[in-house]
């Protein structure tokens, strides 16, 4: 009897309290179980025990991301795998060098490679590819001064860093056996880096997530009272990774909604970082009695179940928008990178500005438009989801062909 195919899922900071990443992981595990039930699935995660228990997989440490990990162990795990899968998220722009280095190890070892559902913003992570204030920037500005400002050495260095990163992206993806990107905009962004002829468009795997049964979702009495009330409920998540600049104006806007008898449900997608931020926001509301923060470490399926009980969701976190739309809850996105704009486009929506310049008039207009027209939104949302599921299905067929070839 032939041995089971050994599949390593990594390249994403799994196990770091990001419910969006965990939703992706849960659904990718489900995809591989469907395609190849006998496969040995190994996940690189920072929360090995919880991931193993929740998903029934083997686990290894989180490779590629700080804190320090064993490079030797990472190389061994990649070399031992029959297939290494860079398993989703927006890593092509947020942290491309990490999974690209893992792909390079796999290619050198002869391990087959898949890029699955990965997204890319229009711009690369500014914290990685811009010269931030400090000694290095001061030195480059000094050189610009010596050139009588004829040469902008900061700009030239940033262009060099971006060019090098884009070259690495193209080189890495070209060598992969299968490249499935999250959306057409990511495919366009990749081709702007260079030609990757084997790349196809899929969708975010979190589209496949199912909600937890409501009677298994543990809530505080305060949260349960609001979520089970008859009042209209608006969910909100603001990412602590890039906080909204005009926070005072957001709090004032939430107070206006609360004064209109809406209930505000702060729904963190990262309980360790988003929840404290939203606790602080709620504490500054005048009408905080009409709001609640959902505390505790929540599984993606629990968050999906909670989102399904809302009348509308406002979020700067992409995956809360995705999860809400799965159950056809109307959505309003606040951009913190083009990934939010990309997701909203098929719905005919545009972002309510960005976390740097939020458009509260746009949010209010969208609330007025969407809150009482859920049936109309569901018609659009159903069509969008059918299209996304068709793209996932086509990508799964290509993945099955590759696994069968192993």
Q: Residue 376: in which H helix or E strand, if any?
A: helix 374-405
Q: Is the pTM of this model over 0.85?
A: yes
Residue 97 shares a structural domain with residue 166:
yes
Q: How far apart, in Å, are the Cα atoms of 327 and each of 120, 211, 301, 391?
A: 25, 9, 12, 19
Does residue 183 sit in the same domain as residue 271?
Answer: no
The two structure tokens encoding residue 353: 């500005």
The answer on 29 and 170 residing in a single domain is: yes
Residues 200 and 219 in one domain: no
Distance from CA of residue 252 to its chain's centroid? 28
Kindly state whether residues 148 and 230 are assigned to the same domain.
Answer: no
CA separation for the pair 247, 210 (Å, rounded): 33
User: Is residue 377 assigned to a domain?
Assistant: no
Does residue 274 lie within any of the structural domains?
Answer: yes
Burial of 91 (0-12, 13-18, 19+ CB in 10 A): buried
How far apart CA 334 and CA 380 sit, in angstroms, is 20
Helix (H, G, I), strand (E, B) or coil at 302: helix
Which residue numbers in the chain have pLDDT < 70?
A: 1-2
Q: List beta partners, residue 115.
A: 86, 179
Q: Is residue 383 part of a domain?
A: no
Q: What was the pLDDT predicted at 131?
A: 81
Residue 384, in any domain of the structure: no
Residue 122: give its domain's CATH number: 3.40.50.2000
How far apart (Å, rounded) are the C-alpha atoms in residues 315 and 230?
Answer: 22
Examine residue 1 and state whether it is found in any structural domain, yes or no: no
Q: Are 168 and 42 members of one domain?
A: yes
Distance CA 22, CA 14 (A): 6
Q: Where are the beta strands (DSSP E) in 2-46?
A: 6-10, 40-44
Q: Do 173 and 301 belong to one domain?
A: no
Q: Any idea which residue has 């979520």 for tokens?
A: 227
Which run of H or of E encompasses 113?
strand 112-118
Tell me the pairing of strands 6-10 and 83-86. Answer: parallel
Instruction: Tell me if residue 134 falls in helix, strand or coil.
Output: coil
Q: H or E element: which one contains 136?
A: helix 135-146
Same domain, 43 and 180: yes
Tell me how crowded residue 160 is: count the other CB atoms within 10 A of its CB: 11
Rounded to 5°, the CA angle 119-122-126 comes to 100
Same-domain status, 46 and 175:
yes
Instruction: Please list, residue by residue across 67-89, b when 16 or more beta carbons sit within 10 angstroms of its beta carbon and e when fewer do.
Output: eebeeeebbebbeebbbbbbbbb
| Phi/psi of residue 36, nearest 5 degrees | -140, 80
In angstroms, how far is CA 183 from the centroid of its own chain? Answer: 13
Residue 67, preceding bond cis, omega within 30 degrees? Answer: yes
At how many degrees (to 10) do helices 300-308 and 19-35 cross?
110
Q: Say if residue 277 is in the same domain as residue 335.
A: yes
How many other CB atoms sit within 10 Å of the CB of residue 324?
27
Query: Any idea what DSSP says for residue 315?
Result: E
Question: Tens of pLDDT along 27-57?
Answer: 999 999 999 999 999 999 999 999 999 999 9
- Same-domain check for residues 144 and 66: yes
Q: For residue 2, what pLDDT is reported?
A: 55
Domain tally, the chain: 2
Q: What pLDDT sits at residue 1?
A: 35
| Any domain includes 46 | yes
User: For the chain, how many residues are written?
Assistant: 406
Q: Is residue 381 part of a domain?
A: no
Segments forming the whole domain that contains residue 149: 6-208+389-405
CA neighbor of 394 nearest in space, from 117, 29, 5? 117
How does pLDDT run across 99-154, given as a tens digit for each residue? 999 999 999 999 999 999 999 999 998 888 888 889 888 888 888 888 888 999 88
The answer to whether residue 175 is domain-embedded is yes
164 and 291 in a common domain: no
């Amino acid at each position: 009897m032939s041995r089971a195919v050994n599949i390593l899922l990594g390249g994403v900071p799994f196990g770091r309290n990001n419910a969006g990443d965990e939703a992706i992981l849960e659904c990718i595990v489900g995809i591989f179980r469907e395609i190849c039930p006998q496969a040995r699935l190994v996940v690189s995660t920072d929360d090995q025990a919880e991931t193993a228990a929740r998903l029934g997989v083997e686990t290894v440490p989180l490779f590629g991301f700080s804190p320090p990990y064993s490079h030797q162990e990472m190389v061994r795990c990649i070399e031992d795998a029959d297939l290494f899968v860079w398993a989703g998220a927006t890593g092509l722009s947020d942290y491309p060098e990490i999974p690209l280095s893992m792909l390079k190890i796999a290619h050198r070892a002869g391990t087959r490679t898949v890029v699955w559902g990965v997204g890319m913003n229009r711009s690369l992570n500014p914290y990685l590819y811009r010269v931030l204030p400090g000694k290095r920037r001061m030195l480059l500005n000094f050189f610009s001064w010596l050139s009588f400002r004829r040469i902008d050495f900061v700009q030239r260095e940033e262009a060099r860093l971006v060019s090098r990163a884009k070259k690495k992206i193209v080189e890495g993806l070209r060598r992969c056996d299968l490249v499935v990107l999250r959306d057409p905009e990511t495919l366009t962004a990749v081709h702007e880096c260079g030609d990757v002829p084997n790349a196809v468009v899929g969708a975010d795997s979190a589209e496949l997530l199912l909600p937890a049964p409501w009677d298994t979702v543990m809530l505080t009495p305060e949260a349960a009272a609001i979520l089970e009330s008859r009042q209209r409920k608006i969910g909100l998540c603001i990412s602590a990774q890039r906080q909204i600049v005009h926070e005072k104006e957001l709090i004032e806007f939430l107070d206006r909604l609360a004064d209109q008898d809406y209930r505000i449900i702060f729904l963190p997608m990262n309980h360790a970082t988003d929840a404290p931020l939203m606790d602080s926001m709620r504490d500054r509301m005048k009408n905080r009695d009409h709001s609640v923060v959902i505390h505790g470490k929540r599984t993606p399926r629990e968050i999906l179940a909670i989102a399904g009980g809302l009348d509308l969701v406002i979020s700067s976190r992409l995956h809360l928008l995705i999860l809400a739309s799965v159950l056809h809850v109307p959505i309003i996105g606040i951009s913190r990178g083009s990934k939010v704009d990309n997701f909203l486009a098929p719905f005919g929506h545009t972002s309510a500005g960005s976390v740097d310049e939020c458009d509260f008039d746009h949010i209010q207009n969208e609330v007025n438009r969407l809150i009482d027209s859920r049936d109309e939104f569901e018609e659009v949302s159903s069509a969008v989801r059918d299209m996304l599921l068709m793209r996932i299905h086509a990508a799964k067929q290509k993945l099955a062909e590759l696994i069968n070839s192993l």
